[in-house]
Structure formats: structure tokens, C-alpha cells
């Protein structure tokens, strides 16, 4: 009983700590936006040319699908970082000195994450009620039909995401930016694994997918299919869930999911997996032991021992020169802070950006540079540059957030002309890293006198660090850049989507002016943000 | 060289005032800013270091309003915040080189200065070791070094002795005293002995307001003839605490030696030589009683 009370207190404190941050309001605002988009018809479920009448069942299923498909991706990035926060605030050290077990802690953290994600589900539930009433196609609210899908489809997904975020945080490799990228692709894999079938495969689908249906779309599909076949026996199993896609022309009445034991088990499976993931996290959790936490840091930088380890830098006591005159040890300086040191500052920023990189990172970058240079122009522009411009992802993601992450803001912001000099220098350093890693393609394009291609490349070189700097400045963390860039890289350049392909990977998708303009906007937003960070700008 | 703080106030989100109507004029020397935790010291330090904007009033550096031209002050400012971080993968030299570049030092000057500073704070032997492995005291010394990088005219140090061991603390105080000759040093602390050893001027702050601003000798004079000591039985200690303003107590074999501040000495009490701690406690008590010293 006492354990449950303690667990409750931990979850409550964790939730309150996050709920009182401005970022939580942004999270809820984003959820409201998604809810509104659904209401406005921007996100729809189609069965052939049909959609359901907006009754409680259909609205509930639609909201559950939106939550489990989209908020699961974003939710991971929202909740990931709860253990890191305990580390940074040093609350973790206090907790580590209590009798609390590691499993208890990781489960509590997962529940804290779940509480945050549940609040997003609650917003979607309110949105669902409003949507049904405002749409007015059926004003009778059946609570279970409306909320059942959110409870049995969305909440287990959120539990899974909550626990997985904790598991990622305890695994040294997945703790940082690599984990943020991995989650994007894992999420895609989960979507695909549970995706409804191609037309005509419906009969085989239900049995196969029951336990791989992460998003719950399979459950919605198999249930709506039963109704659909009664209305239209020639239904071809055409089922789609999309944003801004074709709007259905016909409507049918669907009264909700028949929650059989198998279906409920299929959903609760994700909650069980969540619990297992939270318990597995306990195996890897370092319990804030600086020696174990240092293992990860040493892997990253063998020169960097952790405090408390045998390899810790030997304490060197006191100040130099015992009884000597201290001030005599310092040569007076002429006035400093001149206006001619911008290049020097760029070099300093560049060194800071590249700090701690290993030989293999440079080897990989060099390989990609040569790859861009030596590949046929089409391949270089289309494929190799894609790899070259995801390679420095973790360097870019430090931009703008470094000061918040390491607590050096006060040192920096009390220095002269941070706004006019340091911010541009940080941006130039980012551009130089981008240009260097993708430089092979630029040379190739120059040699081929491909001016349009070169413009696309240059636009990418200024756009990427601008995006990184802007997101880092505003969020104070690199994870949003890692998430958004990876998704954008996948959607735009990889699929050569016009107006989304910031690398200009193909002539047809090359829109350099757009991305230069976007880069300018992003840098303007950085300037505004930095201005607010400075007491006096 | 003059720093004027003119009626400065700071409220957070329009609610409680962390600092209110604070005015002070400073010239070269060490100002010890003394006050209890939560008195508003760090808020004042942040305003003077141009980190945060005053809600009301203004700060003037050599005749120029800092709000209008903050870089003029920043160019000659050395600031050691109460809480600061370091980049753990950089070593001490790299970290200081980065901040030197941000502060506008050219590479050659920065290299020479960093060598001198690392010698000064006795970190030369570990100059190439990543900062992530440094102890709290060593990081604090890196912080002290960065604050002196640009040979500042205004040096603001906020709780600088936190994390330093007793020997380092004494040495740091000496360093501050020596540095103060031709610059303004503002030392914010709640440790009276830090101020006692270094300050040429003392400002007492409580509840966001300036309680007193005077030379140490002047503050000591304010409690002269009002500090008394005597030995009481342990059982009587609570009664004495209720009756007098107790400055300190010390256990002895024959009871407890009590030091009190009072106009009317108790029977058997001997006059004692006042310390800055007595003056500090007296001023705070008077302020809390609604009487400004």
C-alpha cells in the first residue's frame, strides 16, 4: 500500500513539474490544433468513397486513430528526457540514496510520461465531444462509443510510447540524438506493421494483424469492414487514413467497435509490452551512479573521465603562487572587445561544434565527401547527398541549445555583442560544417556548370543550420531538430517532394528560393529569441 | 570609473518584487554585498551583469545608461555567476579560448592570458583534461579564470567561494583584495567572513532592499558598546534566547558562552569587541523590525 502511495507521489510530482512548464502548454496547443484539423476534415478515414456519419462511434474512432498515429510520434519526443532532467536537477541523486528500487523508479518515470501523454488524450476526448456536437450529423452522445476507442486504442499506444521513452533513456546508445532518429524509423516500422491491407486482402488481414496492430487502425478497419460489407458487398477493402487526401462522397452509419475479448487483448497487449519495457529499462538504468553514467561519456570521449571514477582528474588544490602577489601574475590588457575578431570567433564556434567527435565521424564525412565527388551527378545529387546531409545531424542539433543544455548562458550573455557577433558566428560555423560535408557535390556541380543544382545545394547548406539554430534556440534542446529534420529529410529530399526537398535532389523538386527565404525567416526568429534571452540587447 | 545603481527594482511576472528601489554608487574597491538567502543578491548581480533587465530604475556605467548601451559595460565586465556550467568535452584551455573569442580577445592575447590565469588558479597541470572530470572546486576556479579573461574593470562574483575548500577560500579572498586596486569588485555572499576579509565597502540587503551601505569600520561602530558575552547554564539558554538578540553561542565545560546584542547588559555580562557578524545581524534585525539602520 505504501509502495502505491510512493508511486503515486512520484508520478504526481513528475507530472506537475512538467505541466507547469510553458512547453506543456505548447504541447496541449499542438493537440488542440490536431483536434481542430480533424474536425475541419483535414484528417479523414475513407472506405472506398465512404466515410462514417459523425456519430459518437465514428468520431471516437477517428480521434483515437489520430492520437495513436500522429501523437505517438510527437509524444515520444515530448516525454523523452525525464531521467535526464532528474540528472540535471540532481534530484536523481537524492532519489538514488533512498531505498527505492531501480524497477520502481523506471516504472514511476514511465507512468509520469504516461500521465503527460494521457493529458493529450484527454484534450482529444474533449475535442471529440465538441466535434460530434458541432458537426451535428448525430447529436446523441454515446459516451462509451465515443471514449472507448480513445481508452482502448489510444491509451495503450501512449503507455507503450511512455515506457519506450524511458527505455531509450536508459540505453547509452539511444539516450541522445541517435535514439531520436531511431524512434522516427521505429515508429514508421510500427505504422507499416499494423497498416490495413491492400485492396482485396481484407479477409486474411484481421487474423494476421491482431497482435501487430500498433495504431489500432487494423481494429478500426476490421470492425468498419463488417458494416461496410453489409452496405456494399462489393467493398474492395480500400481503407485509407490520411491528411488532406481525397474527401469521401458517401456516408454510412457505423455503430462502433464490437469489443470482443480478442480485440481487447490485442489492445492491452501494448500496455503489457509497455510494462515489460519499463521493467527492462531498470536493467540498464545507472541509478545516477556517476561511475556508470560515465561509461557512456567515456565511450563518447575516452579522455573524459566521470567524477567519482578512478580516472577522475586528480584534484589540484588552491591557487598558484602561495604567498606571491596574485595580481603580479597577470599582465594588464589593453581594452578588448574590438570589432575585428569575427573570423576568430567563427573558428572558436567551429571548434565547439566539432568538440568530442571521433576519428570515425571524420572518416565517414570524408567518405561521403568523396562519394559525392566521384558518383555520377544524378546519384550524387539524389542519393549520396542524402547520406552526407544526415551524417552531421547530431552536430547540427547542438546548435542554439548548447547554452541551455550546459548552463553556459550567463557566461555568454554577459559578453559584448552576443547578438551581433556570436549568433552569426555560430550560424556561419554551422553553414561551414554543412558545406564541408556536402562539398563533394558542390564541386561536382561546379564542374558540370549546373547552376540550378548549385543553387539548390547552397539553399540546403544555409537552410539546415538555420533550422537547427532556430529550433535549438526556441526549445533549448536538440531533440526537436533531430525529430523534425529526420522526418523532413525522409518526406522531402528522400521522396523528392517539391517545396519540401530542401536539398534540391532533383531538378523537378528543386526550389532554392523557397528555402533561402525560409532560412532567412528562421534566422530572424533566432535573433528575436536571442534578444529575449539577453537582459539588454 | 563609476557604477551607479539608481532606484533599481525587479519584479518577476509582475508579482513579488525581488528587488525594490535599490540605489548605490560605487567606485574602485571591493563592495561586499551581504544578505540572507533570498534577499535579492543574485537578482541584483544578474541586472548588473546585463543578464536580466531591471523592471524599474537604471544602471549607469561611467555616465552611460546600461540599458541603452549594454556592450559598453560588457566589454569591461568579468562575471562569475552563482550557477554556471562548462562544456564537458572541452578542456580548460579550449573552454577559455572559446570564451576569450566571445569576449573579443585576439588569439595571441588570449593564449598568453589563459596561460597566466591557469597558473593563477593552479590548473596548469590539468589544462588538457576535459572539464567533465573536474571537481566542483576546480570548475569554480575555471569560472574565476574566465571572469578575469578580459582584465575586467568591473568584476562581479556571485557566491564565489561556494565549492572552494577553506584554504582556497582564504587564497581567493586575497586574490580579490589584490585585484581591487583599479577596478570595481562586487562580491555577493551570505558568508560574513568572506566580506570581512576583503571588502572596502559593505552593502547589506534584505527583502530586496538596501538595509545599509557603509565602510566596515562604520558598521562596527554602529554596534560598539552593545555586544556582551557571558556564560550561562545549558538549561538557561532557551530563556536567554527569548530575552536577547543572540549573536552566537559556544559550548564550554562550565556551560554555554553566549554573545548578545543589547543596550542593557544582563547581570555578569562582559563587553565584547564587535565583529562584522554582530553588525550584520543587528542591522538585519532592525530592518525586520521595521527600522532601517
Per DSSP bridges, beta strands B209-214 and B201-206 are antiparallel
What average pLDDT does chain A have? 86
Assess if residue A426 is contained within a domain: yes
Assess if residue B27 is contained within a domain: yes
Across A75-159, the runs of DSSP E, i.e. the strands, are: none
Instruction: Quote the pLDDT of residue A307.
Output: 43
Whose CA is closest to A418, among B70, B48, B76, B61? B70
Q: What are the CA-CA distances from residue A530 to residues A418, A469, B99 (Å)?
A: 9, 11, 18
CA distance A366 to A438: 10
Count how many domains chain B has: 2
Does residue A223 share a domain with residue A86? yes
Residues of B in Cβ contact (< 8 Å) with A318: 122, 167-168, 171
Query: How far away is chain A from the Cα of B12, in angstroms, using its nearest Cα?
Result: 13
**Percent helix, strand and coil across chain A, each to the nearest 5:** 65, 5, 30
Residues of A in Cβ contact (< 8 Å) with B46: 410, 535
CA distance B14 to A532: 17
Assess if residue B280 is contained within a domain: no
CB spacing of B146 vs A411 below 8 angstroms: yes
Residue B111: strand, helix, or coil: helix
Q: Is the dihedral of CA A192, A196, A197, A203 positive or negative?
A: positive
Query: What DSSP string runs through A477-512?
Result: SSHHHHHHHHHHHHHTTTTT-TTT-TT--SGGG--H
Closest CB to B83: pick one of A407, A415, A537: A407
Q: What is the pLDDT along chain A (537 residues), one digit of tens a residue?
A: 588 888 898 899 889 988 888 778 888 888 888 888 888 888 888 888 888 999 999 999 999 999 999 889 989 999 999 999 898 888 888 888 888 899 999 999 999 999 999 999 999 999 999 999 998 999 899 999 999 999 999 999 999 999 999 999 999 899 988 999 999 999 999 988 877 665 555 555 555 556 788 999 888 988 898 888 888 888 887 888 877 667 788 889 999 999 999 899 999 999 999 999 999 999 999 888 876 665 444 444 444 444 444 346 666 666 655 445 555 677 777 755 555 578 889 999 999 999 888 899 999 999 999 998 888 877 777 788 999 999 999 999 999 999 998 999 999 999 988 888 999 999 999 999 999 999 999 999 999 999 999 999 999 999 999 999 999 999 999 989 998 999 899 888 988 888 889 998 888 888 999 999 999 999 999 999 998 888 776
Assess if residue A155 is contained within a domain: yes
Task: Tell me, yes or no, if A319 comes closer than 8 A to chain B by beta carbon.
Answer: yes
Assess if residue B188 is contained within a domain: yes
Closest CB to A318: pick one of B104, B125, B167: B167
Task: Write out residues 185-204 of B within 8 Å (CB-CB) of A.
Answer: none
Domain residue limits at A400: 342-533
In eight-state DSSP terms, residue A153 is I
Residues of A in Cβ contact (< 8 Å) with B106: 338, 341, 344
Does residue B245 share a domain with residue B105? no
Assess if residue B148 is contained within a domain: yes
Instruction: Quote the pLDDT of residue A313.
Output: 67
Does residue A394 share a domain with residue A275? no
Domain residue limits at B180: 3-215
Structural contact between residues B187 and B194, judged by C-beta atoms closer than 8 angstroms: yes
For B37-66, b/e burial (b = at least 16 CB within 10 A) is eebbbbbbbbbbbbbbbbbebebbbeeebb
Task: Write out residues 135-194 of B within 8 Å (CB-CB) of A.
Answer: 135, 137-138, 141, 146, 148, 150-151, 165, 167-168, 171-172, 174-175, 178-179, 181
Query: Chain-centre distance of CA A376, in angstroms?
Result: 34
Does residue B100 share a domain with residue B181? yes
Does residue B152 share a domain with residue B104? yes
Does residue A267 share a domain with residue A127? yes
Assess if residue A310 is contained within a domain: no
The 10s digit of each residue's pLDDT in A127-179 is: 999 999 998 999 899 999 999 999 999 999 999 999 999 999 999 899 988 99
Which of B103, B108, B138 to substitute to test the interface with A, most A CBs within 10 Å?
B103
Does residue B259 share a domain with residue B119? no
CA distance B253 to B250: 10
Does residue B268 share a domain with residue B126? no
Instruction: Quote the pLDDT of residue A322.
Output: 47
Mapping DSSP onto H, E and C, the string for A435-459 reads: HHHCHHHHHHHHHCCCHHHHHHHHH
Phi, psi of B196 (to 5 degrees): -55, -40
Tell me, what CATH number does B166's domain have? Answer: 3.40.50.300
Does residue B229 share a domain with residue B200? no
**Secondary structure element (H or E) that encloses residue A424, with its range:** helix A423-437
Assess if residue A323 is contained within a domain: no
Which of A295, A312, A319 to substitute to test the interface with B, most B CBs within 10 Å?
A319
Q: Which three cell numbers stand for residue A449?
A: 556548370
CB spacing of A410 vs B123 below 8 angstroms: no
Whose CA is closest to B141, among B92, B182, B184? B92
CB spacing of B87 vs A402 below 8 angstroms: yes
Task: Tell me, yes or no, if A1 comes closer than 8 A to chain B by beta carbon.
Answer: no
Q: Which of A267, A291, A315 is the last residue of a domain?
A: A291
Largest interatomic CA distance in chain A:
97
Count how many domains chain A has: 2
Does residue A357 share a domain with residue A233? no
Task: Write out residues 164-183 of A within 8 Å (CB-CB) of B.
Answer: none
Does residue A143 share a domain with residue A218? yes
Assess if residue A321 is contained within a domain: no
Does residue A185 share a domain with residue A62? yes
Angle at alpha carbon of residue A193, lines to A190 and A194, rounded to 5°? 90
Structural contact between residues A511 and A397, judged by C-beta atoms closer than 8 angstroms: no
Does residue B156 share a domain with residue B48? yes
Does residue A280 share a domain with residue A394? no
Does residue B129 share a domain with residue B196? yes
Assess if residue B171 is contained within a domain: yes
Does residue B241 share a domain with residue B111? no
Does residue B53 share a domain with residue B170? yes
Assess if residue A502 is contained within a domain: yes
Closest CB to A344: pick one of B85, B101, B148: B101
Overall size of chain A counted in residues: 537
Phi, psi of A53 (to 5 degrees): -65, 140
**Secondary structure element (H or E) that encloses residue B188, with its range:** strand B184-189
Task: Tell me, yes or no, if A305 comes closer than 8 A to chain B by beta carbon.
Answer: yes
Q: Which three cell numbers stand for residue A230?
A: 453489409
Assess if residue B38 is contained within a domain: yes
Q: What is the ipTM of this complex?
A: 0.85
Assess if residue B238 is contained within a domain: yes
Residues of A in Cβ contact (< 8 Å) with B138: 313, 315-316
Does residue A180 share a domain with residue A117? yes
Does residue A271 share a domain with residue A128? yes
Task: Tell me, yes or no, if A233 comes closer than 8 A to chain B by beta carbon.
Answer: no
Assess if residue A256 is contained within a domain: yes
Assess if residue A311 is contained within a domain: no
CB spacing of A317 vs B122 below 8 angstroms: yes
Task: Tell me, yes or no, if A337 comes closer than 8 A to chain B by beta carbon.
Answer: yes
Assess if residue B158 is contained within a domain: yes
Structural contact between residues B102 and A348, judged by C-beta atoms closer than 8 angstroms: yes
Out of A41-45, A241-245, B123-127, B142-146, pick the least confident. Answer: A241-245
Q: Which of A260, A275, A291 is the last residue of a domain?
A: A291
Does residue B246 share a domain with residue B187? no
CB spacing of B101 vs A341 below 8 angstroms: yes
Does residue B64 share a domain with residue B203? yes
Does residue A38 share a domain with residue A98? yes
Does residue A435 share a domain with residue A368? yes
Does residue A136 share a domain with residue A24? yes
Amino acid at each position: 500500500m505504501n509502495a502505491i502511495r510512493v508511486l503515486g507521489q512520484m508520478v504526481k510530482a513528475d507530472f506537475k513539474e512538467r505541466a507547469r512548464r510553458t512547453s506543456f502548454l505548447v504541447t496541449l496547443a499542438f493537440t488542440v490544433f490536431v483536434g481542430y484539423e480533424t474536425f475541419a476534415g483535414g484528417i479523414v478515414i475513407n472506405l472506398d468513397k465512404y466515410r462514417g456519419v459523425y456519430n459518437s462511434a465514428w468520431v471516437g474512432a477517428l480521434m483515437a486513430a489520430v492520437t495513436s498515429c500522429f501523437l505517438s510520434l510527437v509524444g515520444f519526443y515530448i516525454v523523452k528526457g525525464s531521467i535526464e532532467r532528474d540528472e540535471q536537477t540532481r534530484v536523481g541523486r537524492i532519489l538514488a540514496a533512498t531505498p527505492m528500487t531501480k524497477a520502481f523508479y523506471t516504472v514511476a518515470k514511465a507512468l509520469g510520461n504516461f500521465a503527460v501523454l494521457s493529458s493529450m488524450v484527454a484534450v482529444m476526448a474533449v475535442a471529440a465531444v465538441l466535434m460530434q456536437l458541432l458537426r451535428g450529423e448525430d447529436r446523441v452522445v454515446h459516451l462509451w462509443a465515443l471514449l472507448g476507442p480513445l481508452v482502448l486504442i489510444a491509451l495503450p499506444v501512449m503507455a507503450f510510447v511512455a515506457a519506450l521513452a524511458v527505455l531509450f533513456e536508459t540505453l547509452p546508445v539511444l539516450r541522445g540524438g541517435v535514439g531520436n532518429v531511431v524512434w522516427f524509423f521505429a515508429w514508421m516500422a510500427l505504422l507499416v506493421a499494423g497498416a490495413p491491407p491492400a485492396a482485396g486482402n481484407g479477409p486474411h488481414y484481421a487474423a494476421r494483424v491482431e497482435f501487430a496492430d500498433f495504431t489500432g487502425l487494423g481494429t478500426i478497419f476490421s470492425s468498419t469492414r463488417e458494416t461496410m460489407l453489409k452496405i456494399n458487398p462489393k467493398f474492395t477493402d480500400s481503407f485509407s487514413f490520411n491528411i488532406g487526401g481525397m474527401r469521401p462522397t458517401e456516408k454510412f452509419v457505423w455503430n462502433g467497435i464490437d469489443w470482443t475479448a480478442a480485440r481487447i487483448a490485442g489492445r492491452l497487449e501494448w500496455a503489457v509490452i509497455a510494462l515489460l519495457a519499463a521493467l527492462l529499462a531498470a536493467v540498464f538504468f545507472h541509478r545516477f551512479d556517476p561511475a556508470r553514467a560515465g561509461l557512456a561519456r567515456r565511450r563518447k570521449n575516452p579522455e573524459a573521465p566521470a567524477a567519482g571514477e578512478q580516472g577522475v582528474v586528480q584534484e589540484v588544490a588552491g591557487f598558484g603562487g602561495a604567498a606571491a602577489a596574485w595580481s603580479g601574475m597577470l599582465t594588464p590588457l589593453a581594452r578588448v572587445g574590438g570589432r575585428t575578431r569575427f573570423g576568430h570567433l567563427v573558428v572558436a564556434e567551429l571548434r565547439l561544434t566539432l568538440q568530442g567527435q571521433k576519428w570515425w565521424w571524420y572518416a565517414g564525412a570524408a567518405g561521403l565527401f568523396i562519394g559525392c565527388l566521384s558518383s555520377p551527378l544524378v546519384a550524387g545529387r539524389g542519393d549520396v547527398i542524402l547520406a552526407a546531409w544526415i551524417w552531421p545531424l547530431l552536430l547540427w542539433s547542438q546548435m542554439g541549445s548548447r547554452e541551455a543544455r550546459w548552463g553556459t548562458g550567463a557566461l555568454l550573455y554577459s559578453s559584448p555583442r552576443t547578438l551581433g557577433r556570436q549568433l552569426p558566428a555560430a550560424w556561419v560555423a554551422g553553414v561551414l560544417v554543412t558545406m564541408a560535408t556536402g562539398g563533394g557535390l558542390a564541386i561536382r556541380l561546379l564542374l558540370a556548370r549546373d547552376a540550378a543544382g548549385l543553387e539548390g545545394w547552397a539553399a540546403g547548406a544555409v537552410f539546415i543550420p538555420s533550422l537547427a539554430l532556430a529550433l535549438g534556440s526556441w526549445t533549448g534542446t536538440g531533440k526537436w531538430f533531430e525529430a523534425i529534420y529526420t522526418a523532413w529529410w525522409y518526406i522531402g529530399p528522400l521522396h523528392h517532394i517539391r517545396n519540401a526537398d530542401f536539398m534540391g535532389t532533383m531538378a523537378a523538386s528543386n526550389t532554392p528560393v523557397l528555402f533561402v527565404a525560409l532560412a532567412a525567416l528562421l534566422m530572424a526568429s533566432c535573433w528575436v529569441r536571442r534578444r529575449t534571452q539577453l537582459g539588454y540587447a | 570609473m563609476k557604477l551607479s545603481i539608481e532606484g533599481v527594482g525587479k519584479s518577476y511576472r509582475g508579482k513579488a518584487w525581488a528587488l525594490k528601489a535599490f540605489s548605490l554608487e560605487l567606485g574602485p574597491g571591493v563592495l561586499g554585498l551581504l544578505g540572507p538567502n533570498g534577499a535579492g543578491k543574485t537578482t541584483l548581480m544578474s541586472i548588473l551583469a546585463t543578464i536580466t533587465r531591471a523592471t524599474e530604475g537604471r544602471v549607469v556605467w561611467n555616465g552611460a545608461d546600461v540599458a541603452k548601451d549594454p556592450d559598453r559595460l560588457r566589454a569591461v565586465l568579468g562575471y562569475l555567476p552563482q550557477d554556471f556550467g562548462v562544456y564537458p568535452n572541452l578542456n580548460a584551455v579550449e573552454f577559455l579560448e572559446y570564451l576569450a573569442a566571445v569576449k573579443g580577445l585576439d588569439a595571441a592575447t588570449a593564449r598568453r592570458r589563459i596561460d597566466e590565469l591557469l597558473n593563477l588558479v593552479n590548473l596548469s597541470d590539468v589544462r588538457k583534461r576535459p572539464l567533465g572530470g573536474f571537481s566542483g572546486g576546480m570548475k569554480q576556479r575555471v569560472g574565476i579564470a574566465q571572469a578575469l579573461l578580459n582584465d575586467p574593470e568591473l568584476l562581479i562574483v556571485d557566491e564565489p567561494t561556494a565549492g572552494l575548500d577553506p584554504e582556497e577560500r582564504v587564497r581567493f579572498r586575497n586574490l580579490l583584495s589584490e585585484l581591487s586596486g583599479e577596478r570595481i569588485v562586487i562580491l555577493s555572499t551570505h558568508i560574513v567572513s568572506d566580506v570581512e576579509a576583503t571588502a572596502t565597502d559593505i552593502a547589506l540587503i534584505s527583502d530586496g532592499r538596501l538595509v545599509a551601505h557603509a565602510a566596515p569600520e562604520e558598521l562596527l561602530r554602529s554596534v560598539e558598546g552593545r555586544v556582551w558575552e557571558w556564560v550561562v547554564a545549558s538549561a538557561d539558554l532557551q530563556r536567554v534566547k527569548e530575552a536577547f538578540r543572540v549573536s552566537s553561542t559556544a559550548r564550554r565545560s562550565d556551560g554555554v558562552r553566549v554573545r548578545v546584542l543589547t543596550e542593557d547588559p544582563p547581570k555578569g555580562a562582559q563587553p565584547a569587541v564587535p565583529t562584522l557578524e554582530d553588525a550584520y545581524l543587528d542591522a538585519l534585525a532592525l530592518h525586520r523590525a521595521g527600522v532601517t539602520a
